Chains A and B, each alone.
Chain A
């Protein structure tokens, strides 16, 4: 345990030192804290209302809903823990350094597991405990502590599960992706068939008819399991970690370049445009067509398109007009497809931003080109969807024009905010090499500052949607134009001054 504590201490020292000496980290923490407070207060209020209703409906109803709430919380934390496993366990130099040191597999796992609470899910865990804990104590009194204990122990177990599942995926599934996908597909179909058969013979799962297990008993069970997994069974998980690490490090480097049909022709056409925007479009097209995340985004967009008729029915009681529904849904889908990328379109460059700073172009040209390159797919997607949905809903020509205008304004403001705001996280000295560091630097927004930017952009989207929803189109359009103007002016100045600052600071 001494070794584990030593490594943890070094990590914490490094984190505190960054917090003390780096003003940018301080700003990030301040914003994170402010957002936490805002989200926390809102969620506490909501939960207080619901808890009172559940309590009034009887103890069985209360327990069922608390179990559902806790399950959701554990799944959420588990997802974050899984993503953190990638960065803490495989990304960057620290895991590599630790892997070269004489540490037993059990200690290795315990270090990874402990780090998860400090550097991985810490912020979310605190938020979750505060948001659920305060209303529970207010409504349930001393009984809340039993539930809170269950929540915390469940989190500890969910984190362990997430780490182990991630390690298994990295070790056994990623190297055989095609086979794995086939197995998953067969399993899903199998589960579907079994479910259908059970349904046909009249066997259904109804949560309300089953009594929930007592929280204290489950807590005890969790304690026993946790003692085992961080004690005698830690070695097994540690070995799994070492093997997964070696699997990832030893992956074949002879990565063949995949050129999808049409991409080569399109890039040839875009190559005719011999300037920065053209070059960025070509690079973006080639890069994204070879990126698994892009295909995941595309699948998500297709799912969203397929869901439109259901969403339409769901939102009908809220009094959404057809115009409003088409405008919000189309822009929402376009934003959703890009939301985790737009916020770091520039900062994912790291030291590579130097490529653009040493060519004979002004910083303004670079910022403008970056915006255009992201705006083109966003507008293409948003406007195509709005026209298709508008036609499907039978919107008259004038309303269709209004939809196009609203979607354009929403996407323009959001894209400018995210792309130019993303310069905030740019570090000219940051070099990422190797699969996992590149993945965490270029593909994932799970860096505190990026998450804050993501939060702020969500806020902006919220404001825009509320404007469109609550204000008549004749007023919301000028309001959106005004908002876009502010975003463009502030974003432009911010982006330019940040890049200048990078050159001054060095």
Chain B
């Protein structure tokens, strides 16, 4: 793996505070198949980290291990300085998570669903209401806030899931393909929101297949391939390593070294 100490962030030059996410030799096997192999990651507060990889590379498995939905076979993970498996309550209070699929209750309205999430997190009613109204505006869900979630389009469901992840102002956001299914305007607004959150010291760890997005909003990008972190650094640095003009070419060049198939 090639690790570059990030000195040149493409979009923002800022000094990061403490480590928000750290993994050490994180490994997960399914019988003889190793989905994630000795993964070492470090994401700082205020940083947007893009996690790239082909289908089945191990992105979702890694994210599930970060949020405590999947137990690693080896290695450790810390979020906000707390060990995910030793201090689960402190860790879970610190992050917001959006899964790769929507997890909603079809008969609840959008507003009721976010309120439900606020209630299970024990947020005071007044604070929850204020935050819900704020999120409905930011994510442009107000018009449909009082209709059943089951009637939402895929993109709206994603936005609602993001609203749910943001309800408690988490220090860390873990987002599995958050822009998937969003229209260009919504995606653009969401990218702005991520930048604002990062400016407020929220660490954002997101996976995406959209390399243009990764290039435009991520301070650093890590490419996972067959469970191993191949390379990480700013998109500028990845382009330099691969000798490619864009992140897309860099990604293709770095991940396809051993998989060239004659056409």
Interface residues of A (CB under 8 A from B): 253-257, 271-272, 274-276, 278-280, 282-283, 286-287, 290-291, 351-352, 354-362, 428, 431, 433, 438, 503-504, 506
Contacts and interface: CB of A to CB of B under 8 A. Distances in A.
B contact residues, range? 35 or more
Given A279-B116, A357-B69, A361-B89, 8 more contacts: A257-B146, A274-B123, A278-B119, A282-B119, A286-B108, A351-B101, A352-B105, A503-B68
A351 B28 CA distance: 20
A357 B120 CA distance: 11
Contact of A358 (B67, B112, B146, B148): B67
A351 B107 contact: no
A137 to B, nearest CB: 48
A504 B119 contact: no
Contacts of B101: 351, 431
Contacts of A272: 125
Contacts of A428: 69
B105 A438 contact: no
B64 interface: yes
B151 A255 contact: yes
Contacts of A255: 147-148, 150-151
A354 B66 CA distance: 13
Contacts of B28: 506
Contacts of B146: 257
A283 B108 contact: yes
B105 A283 contact: yes
A357 B85 CA distance: 12
A283 B70 contact: no
Contacts of B30: 506
Contacts of A276: 120
10 contacts: A290-B148, A291-B107, A354-B97, A355-B120, A358-B97, A360-B121, A431-B101, A438-B106, A503-B69, A506-B64
Contact of B125 (A271, A357, A506): A271
Contacts of B104: 352
B121 A357 contact: no
Contacts of A431: 101-102
B61 interface: yes
Interface string B16-47: 00000000000010100000000000000000
Nearest to A502: B69
B122 interface: yes
By CB atoms of chain A within 10 A, which of B117, B122, B125 has the most? B122
Contacts of B70: 503, 506
B109 interface: yes
A321 to B, nearest CB: 43
A99 B30 CA distance: 34
A287 B117 contact: no
Interface of B: 28, 30, 61, 64, 67-71, 88-93, 95, 97, 99, 101-109, 112, 115-117, 119-125, 146-148, 150-151
B90 A354 contact: no
A290 B147 CA distance: 12
B99 A351 contact: yes
B103 A352 contact: yes
B107 A274 contact: no
B174 to A, nearest CB: 9
B149 to A, nearest CB: 10
Given A256-B147, A275-B122, A283-B108, A355 B117 contact: yes
A360 B84 CA distance: 11
B105 A287 contact: yes
Contacts of B115: 271, 282
Contact of A356 (B89, B119, B120, B147): B120
A357 B68 contact: yes
Given A291-B107, A360-B92, A438-B106, A503 B119 contact: no
B120 A287 contact: no
Given A257-B147, A503-B70, A359 B120 contact: yes
A287 B107 CA distance: 6
Contacts of A352: 103-105
Contacts of B71: 503-504, 506
Nearest to A357: B69
A251 to B, nearest CB: 11
Contact of A287 (B90, B99, B108): B108
A282 B95 CA distance: 24
Contacts of A286: 107-108, 112
A275 B123 CA distance: 8
Contacts of A290: 107, 148
A157 B107 CA distance: 37
Nearest to A430: B101
Report the 5 A-B pairs with minimum CB-CB distance, sorted nearest first: A279-B119, A360-B92, A360-B93, A279-B120, A360-B89
B205 to A, nearest CB: 14
Contact of A506 (B61, B112, B121, B123): B61
A501 B208 CA distance: 29
A361 B108 CA distance: 23
Contacts of B119: 271, 274-275, 278-279, 282
Nearest to A283: B116
B255 to A, nearest CB: 24
By CB atoms of chain A within 10 A, which of B67, B71, B104 has the most? B71
A255 B71 CA distance: 39
Contacts of A271: 115, 119, 125
By CB atoms of chain A within 10 A, which of B67, B69, B109, B123 has the most? B69
Contacts of A361: 89, 92, 120
Contacts of A433: 102
Given A255-B148, A271-B119, A291-B107, A359 B99 contact: no
A282 B61 CA distance: 32
Contacts of A506: 28, 30, 61, 64, 70-71
Nearest to B117: A355
Nearest to A291: B107
Contacts of B112: 282-283, 286
Contacts of B125: 271-272, 274
A356 B122 CA distance: 13
A489 B109 CA distance: 37
A253 B151 contact: yes
Nearest to A353: B103
Contacts of A275: 119-120, 122
Contacts of A254: 147, 151
A287 B112 CA distance: 10
Nearest to A363: B88
Contacts of B148: 255-257, 290
Contacts of A358: 67-69, 92, 95, 97
By CB atoms of chain A within 10 A, which of B107, B109, B116, B117 has the most? B107
A355 B103 contact: yes
B118 to A, nearest CB: 8
B207 to A, nearest CB: 16
